């Protein structure tokens, strides 16, 4: 791990040290018992039909390290409602604070005003993060293969499942796919964005998807902007797309969502 990704993880380590003092893991485990049961993220994004050949995970994202501020006056509840009304199958919420201007509190806000599952999208690398995700109301977590060793990835997939959450395991190439499969990933996200350079290549999904065994749920992430992009991915066997920037910066998010996924 190097470059900008390493900088993000380094900052998360500093945050984690403070979080452990503010709210110890023992206390989080005790409080989880009072949290509402998770919604079924896997079922929401895996179904395919003639009316809906591909599902949408719509992302709440205030800032991008590569493009800067995307939405100045972010109203998480309003955006989440509009996502659901327009047909999103799930919502992804950026919770990383420093580089994406996210907040863990956004999970509860998005979940509280919708009925669809909410994915916590962040750079998670400790057991504490998994328990914390369940505590703040996440129905699923993003696990990034390039951030985690095989043993940790496997453990976190299992722990997430034990807590009732799904795991979206993110990969960027065939080598990381091999790691994800060894770890037991059932939902595999192919990120078209290189986390080192932030360059986007849609052909990443179209290439890697050919190597994924049948029975896995496939999500394409990043750089998806048009109906043509969606059609290409659906034809390639992708079950769901995760879209943030092209929706968030659109003048009408509902119209943009319908453009992407409406029959």
Pairwise CA distance, residues 104 & 73, whole Å: 17
SS3 annotation, the chain:
CCHHHHHHHHHHHHHHHHHHHHCCHHHHHHHHCCCCCCCCHHHHHHCCCCCCCCEEEEEECCEECCCEECCCCCCHHHHHHHHHHHCCCEEEEECCCCCCCCCCHHHHHHHHCCCCCEEEECCCCCHHHHHHHHHCCCCEEEEECCCCCHHHHHHHHHHHHHCCCEEEEEECCHHHHHHHHHHCCCEEEEECECCCCCCECCHHHHHHHHHCCCCCEEEEECCCCCHHHHHHHHHCCCCEEEECHHHHCCCCHHHHHHHHHCC
With tokens 């599952």, the residue in question is 117
CA 242 to chain CA centroid, nearest Å:
7
Q: Which residues of the chain have pLDDT under 70?
A: 1-2, 49-50, 263
Pairwise CA distance, residues 157 & 181, whole Å: 11
Q: Which domain holds residue 9?
A: 3-261
The pLDDT, as a whole number, for residue 198 is 76
User: Could you tell me the CATH number of the domain that includes residue 106?
Assistant: 3.20.20.70
Domain count, the chain: 1
CA 69 to chain CA centroid, nearest Å:
19
Q: What residues act catalytically?
A: 59, 61, 121, 170, 191, 221-222
Pairwise CA distance, residues 188 & 33, whole Å: 29
């Amino acid at each position: 791990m190097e470059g900008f990704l390493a900088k993000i993880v380094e900052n998360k380590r500093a945050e984690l040290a403070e979080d452990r003092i503010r709210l110890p893991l023992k206390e989080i485990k005790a409080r989880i018992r009072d949290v509402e049961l998770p919604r079924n993220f896997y079922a929401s994004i895996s179904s395919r039909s003639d009316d809906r050949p591909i599902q949408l995970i719509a992302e709440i994202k205030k800032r991008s390290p590569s493009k800067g501020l995307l939405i100045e006056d972010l109203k998480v509840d309003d955006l989440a409602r509009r996502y659901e009304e327009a047909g999103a199958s799930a919502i992804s919420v950026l919770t990383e604070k420093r580089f994406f201007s996210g907040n863990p509190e956004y999970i509860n806000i998005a979940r509280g005003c919708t009925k669809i599952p909410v994915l916590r999208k962040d750079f998670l690398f400790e057991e504490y993060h998994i328990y914390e995700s369940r505590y703040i109301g996440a129905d699923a977590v993003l696990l990034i293969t390039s951030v985690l060793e095989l043993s940790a990835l496997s453990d976190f997939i299992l722990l997430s499942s034990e807590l009732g959450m799904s795991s979206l395991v993110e990969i960027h190439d065939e080598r990381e796919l091999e790691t994800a499969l060894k770890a037991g990933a059932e939902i595999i996200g192919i990120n078209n964005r290189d986390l080192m350079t932030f360059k986007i290549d849609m052909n990443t999904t179209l290439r890697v998807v050919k190597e994924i065994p049948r029975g896995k749920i496939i999500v394409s992430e990043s750089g998806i902007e048009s109906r043509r992009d969606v059609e290409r991915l659906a034809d390639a066997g992708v079950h769901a797309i995760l879209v943030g920037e092209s929706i968030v910066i659109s003048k009408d998010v509902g119209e943009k969502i319908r453009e992407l996924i409406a029959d």
